[in-house]
């Protein structure tokens, strides 16, 4: 069981990195285009599509970090090609950010403001997105995917609690 847990952590590492890094770059200004929201300020049904916190910069930096993590993993293990590592990292990173954006879209539709918690969904949005996008090039067992989402959700919750007590997050639940 420990082996499976470690396999999931190793696989999901690019997605974890992609999901985490945009927060650290949120106050770094990189220019009008990169700092713009991916929804370009547009609304749907009277509410913003995603909101100001989903930026081009976040998607770019998150995806690039996921690729870098996957390349480091490739360098350490090397059981697949560098091109596969780049592809997997890009798909997992971008997928994690898309999953998070879909959750933001849902939150806006049901009236939950940006930055406010959406228990359970806040924890499972990015691993679902990462795994769905990665499944384009990797065949996953459904049970493995479900376990990866559960483990990732628990780790995300624990990270939120730690972030709250360190003063990084305003709320944790």
pLDDT average per 10 residues of sequence, the chain (173 residues) = 93 96 78 83 87 89 97 91 97 97 92 84 95 97 96 91 81 60
Reported in sequence order, the residue ranges of 8-164 that DSSP labels E, i.e. its strands, are: 43-44, 47-48
Q: Which residues make Cβ contacts (< 8 Å) with residue 125, sequence separation at least 6?
A: 99, 100, 102, 103
What pLDDT is attached to residue 173? 60
Position 96 in a domain: yes
Domains of the chain: total: 1
Identify the helix (H) or strand (E) that includes residue 84.
helix 82-109
Position 173 in a domain: no
Position 171 in a domain: no
Position 47 in a domain: yes
- Domain containing 152 equals 2-165
Position 41 in a domain: yes
Position 172 in a domain: no
What pLDDT is attached to residue 171? 63
Output Rg (C-alpha) for the chain, integer angstroms. 16
| pTM of the entire predicted model | 0.90
Position 155 in a domain: yes
Position 170 in a domain: no
């Amino acid at each position: 069981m420990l082996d499976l847990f470690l396999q999931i952590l190793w696989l999901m590492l690019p997605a974890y990195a992609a999901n985490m890094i945009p927060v650290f770059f949120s106050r770094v200004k990189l220019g009008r285009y990169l700092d713009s929201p991916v929804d370009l300020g547009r609304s749907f049904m009277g509410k913003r599509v995603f909101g100001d916190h989903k930026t081009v910069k976040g998607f770019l930096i998150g995806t690039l970090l996921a690729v870098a993590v996957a390349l480091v993993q490739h360098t350490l293990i090397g059981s697949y090609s560098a091109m596969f590592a780049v592809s997997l990292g890009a798909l997992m990173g971008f997928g994690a950010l898309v999953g998070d954006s879909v959750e933001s879209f849902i939150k806006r539709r049901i009236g939950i403001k940006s930055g406010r918690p959406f228990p359970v969904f806040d924890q499972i949005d990015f691993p679902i997105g990462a795994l769905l996008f990665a499944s384009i090039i990797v065949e996953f067992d459904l049970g493995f995917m479900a376990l990866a989402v559960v483990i990732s959700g628990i780790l995300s919750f624990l990270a939120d609690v730690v972030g709250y007590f360190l003063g990084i997050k305003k709320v944790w639940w």
